[in-house]
Homo-oligomer: A and B are copies of this chain.
Amino acid sequence: MNAELIIIVLGLLSIATAIFYAGRVVRIQVGAEGGNVEQNNRLKEIAAAISEGAMAFLLREYRVILLFISFMTVLIFLLLDNPKTDFNEGIYTSIAFVSGALISCLSGFVGMSIATKGNVRTAQAAKTSLSKAFRVAYDSGAVMGFGLVGLAVLGLVGLFILFTVLNVDVPKHILMESLAGFGLGGSSVALFGRVGGGIYTKAADVGADLVGKVEKGIPEDDPRNPATIADNVGDNVGDIAGMGADLFGSAAEATCAALVIGATASALAGNNTALLYPLLILAIGIPASLITSFFARVKETGSVEFALKLQLWISTAIVAVALYFVTDFFMVDSFQIGEKTITKWNIFTAVSLGLFAGMLIGWVTEYYTSHAYKPVREVVESCETGAATNIIYGLALGYHSSVVPVVLLVIVIVISNLLAGMYGIALAAIGMISTIAIGLTIDAYGPVSDNAGGIAEMAELGKEVRDRTDNLDAAGNTTAAVGKGFAIGSAALTSLALFAAFITRTQLASKELGEGAVDLTTIELLDPWVFGGLLFGAMLPFIFSAMTMKSVGKAALDMVKEVRRQFKEIPGLMEGTAKPEYAKCVDISTSAALREMIPPGLLVLLSPIVVGYLFGVKSLAGLLAGALVSGVVLAISSANSGGAWDNAKKYIEKKAGGKGSDMHKAAVVGDTVGDPLKDTSGPAINILIKLMAITSLVFAEFFVLKGGVILQLFK
């Protein structure tokens, strides 16, 4: 059977599913049931403000990104124009790059549109019942999940067909390297989306909390707080558009890495169906996720958290079974990569390893960030002696939480490599994100319910409505932590696979160049150029974190000043008789995010290009490895410290001390510190490590031909 056709059909199925769910959400009439006219008008008004703010930001962000895309396209075109060969890598890579970038933008836009419609409709549905509200939030998330996977799969297979049809004579591994431009495009947009969105959302959040909760003692999402609309807009731009682009990037990049490495095996290069196996795994996740989504329901008194977790378990189980048949049916019985003989069952095991390791990492993440378990309870206790001990315990918890995920990753890396070389690692990465449609649905569900709660509060809907949205939101928080675990794990494997693809590619290229080229057959750890790169690379995630954290801090400072000003200068604001100027706060977040996302973005994109050009492939390999290993640990730590502080605060609000107590004040400090860690710098590190690896891969030939100018001086 023809793999391309199957992938296209499943891709279209994914898009159709997304459209179906979108229709279900949009058809709900805001204000149809319950609530008085005034409440319903307020509901619409607030939703419109959030939607406008979010879309306005997105459009302005995309304008900046468009500039960047143009710049990168020119760069790719110029640097990859190798006059020695007939195949113009520059042109094809540019096409792939622009496609990836535009599809990523499109995904973000679609996700955002539906999320800003879904939030108010979830609030609306919460007037009647928990199960209805759950379904609306879930459906909104599913639009994002299925839409994005469908676009990714269709984009990749479309380019694959285009490239192979137009270049029948060009070796597949060279074509696949051009295809990797798609991943680069997707991930570049993701970087700006994550960083910009992350700065936006946390500047608003921290600013709103510091004045509203801490100084004025008014509740979260209180309509009197001028930053509250910006805060809700932030949930959409950071957690929906940013995260969507991030996972889109992971899917595209892991696939590209597997395709590049796979294409070096002649048995695969000559057999499109077997070559496209990595993409088939992603595609097979689509029907699996669709079946899973039928089970998404919650009884009125049921556990939302259980329902969401069940989604992950069901989809994992279905994919695991489907994988068996897909592998048996589409994969060649055995093939060679280098000197290694790889059977289809090696392949199957490697993918499954990734799939289940992802689940386990998710569990560990939950253990460290949910207040049902000991670690967060210890953080809660530490709040008894104040903010300082809370911070110390939370930081220690984050560092501690990296142990099991790292050990799991090491096991996956070693075993999948023994089974199928670097191809095995790339496949394990794809296995980990094969349930991405469900993963994204659940991830996007979170901010939608969070927003629904905010809207219910601002529109002053009844307490039972707010209770229902709180219930939805709480479950979303737990699954968000699990999702972050997944995202980091898959980013680590993806980067390693890309890294391997990069090395494979440069080794081939340097062999083709023959005499005079740098010998790249080994990347010796103790070579000073490699080790220097390693140490330098290990520092990059830290400086990147520093830049993004400080950006949040600076933007939050501006926000605090504006909010304080409004409380001081607008008479009647605190009493609720006058309206705050929401738009000013939205503006502050927007311009801060756009301004502050540039420097860290350039750092990530230019570091590999500059280092590769000046110091050559070996230093660059060191840099990638260093950034990868320190980045993984820092990303896990940042995400889990932040998650734990958040949940420790929630626990204190409900069970210990309560709001306004000294313990709660200490907990709020931790939560505020955790915000940029878990929602800005931590998740952005994922993209940092992936993006540096794929940049290196895309420019591999350039580095081999022209890189290492300083290195030459010492020869």
Contact = CB atoms under 8 A, between A and B. Distances in A.
Given A382-B557, A413-B531, A669-B669, A422 B550 contact: no
Interface in A354-412: 382, 385-389, 391-393, 395-400, 402-403, 406-407, 409-410
A414 interface: yes
B391 A669 contact: yes
Given A536-B407, A557-B382, A630-B630, A399 B543 contact: yes
Nearest to A673: B391
A214 B538 CA distance: 38
Given A385-B556, A626-B629, A633-B542, A417 B528 contact: yes
A398 to B, nearest CB: 8
A550 B714 contact: no
Contacts of A171: none
A526 interface: yes
B396 A526 contact: no
A535 B632 contact: yes
Contact of A525 (B392, B400, B621): B621
A532 interface: yes
A672 interface: yes
Interface string A32-73: 000000000000000000000000000000000000000000
Q: Assembly of this chain: how many copies?
A: 2
A430 interface: no
A711 to B, nearest CB: 10
B522 A410 contact: no
A489 to B, nearest CB: 12
B526 A503 contact: yes
Interface in A515-564: 522-526, 528-532, 534-539, 542-543, 545-547, 549-550, 552-553, 556-557, 560
A147 interface: no
Contact of A535 (B388, B392, B413): B413
A528 B673 contact: no
Interface string A624-640: 01101110110001000
A622 interface: yes
B414 A535 contact: no
A210 interface: yes
B399 A545 contact: yes
Contacts of A214: 386
Contacts of A673: 388, 391-392, 395
Nearest to A403: B543
A700 B632 CA distance: 29
A503 B531 CA distance: 14
Contact of A546 (B386, B389, B400, B676): B400
Contacts of A448: none
A624 to B, nearest CB: 9
Nearest to A425: B528
Interface SS of chain A: helix, strand, loop or mixed? helix
Nearest to A407: B536
A18 interface: no
A406 B629 contact: no
A692 interface: no
A496 interface: yes
Contacts of A206: 388-389
A500 interface: yes
A657 to B, nearest CB: 17
Contacts of A388: 206, 210, 668-669, 672-673
A598 interface: no
Contacts of A422: 526
A418 interface: yes
A546 B538 CA distance: 19
Contact of A524 (B391, B410, B522, B560): B522
A385 B560 contact: yes
A18 to B, nearest CB: 36
Interface in A137-193: none
Contact of A522 (B522, B550, B626): B522
A399 B549 CA distance: 10
Contact of A392 (B400, B417, B492, B552): B552
A525 B619 CA distance: 12
A417 to B, nearest CB: 4
A51 B507 CA distance: 64
Contacts of A407: 536
Contact of A410 (B395, B418, B536, B672): B536
B534 A389 contact: no
Contacts of A418: 528, 714
A676 B392 contact: yes
A210 B386 contact: yes
A531 B553 CA distance: 36
A539 B410 CA distance: 11
A603 to B, nearest CB: 11
B553 A393 contact: yes
Nearest to A564: B385
B557 A389 contact: yes
Given A392-B673, A538-B629, A630-B629, A385 B528 contact: no
Contacts of A524: 522-525
Q: Which of A214, A407, A534 has the most CB of B within 10 A?
A: A534
B522 A400 contact: no
A522 B386 CA distance: 52
A305 to B, nearest CB: 27
B669 A550 contact: no
A495 to B, nearest CB: 11
Given A214-B386, A525-B525, A410 B532 contact: yes
B392 A549 contact: yes
Q: Which of A417, A525, A552, A633 has the most CB of B within 10 A?
A: A525
Contacts of A413: 528, 531-532, 535
26 contacts: A214-B386, A382-B553, A382-B557, A386-B669, A386-B672, A388-B673, A389-B553, A391-B391, A392-B673, A395-B549, A395-B673, A396-B545, A396-B546, A396-B549, A397-B546, A400-B542, A403-B543, A406-B535, A406-B539, A414-B528, A499-B526, A524-B524, A524-B525, A535-B628, A538-B633, A542-B637
Given A391-B673, A397-B546, 20 more contacts: A210-B389, A214-B386, A386-B669, A387-B387, A392-B549, A392-B672, A393-B550, A396-B553, A403-B539, A409-B535, A410-B532, A414-B532, A499-B526, A500-B526, A524-B524, A524-B525, A539-B633, A542-B633, A629-B630, A669-B669
- Sorted nearest first, the 10 A-B pairs with minimum C-beta distance are A388-B672, A399-B546, A417-B528, A538-B629, A399-B542, A400-B546, A523-B525, A396-B546, A410-B532, A396-B549
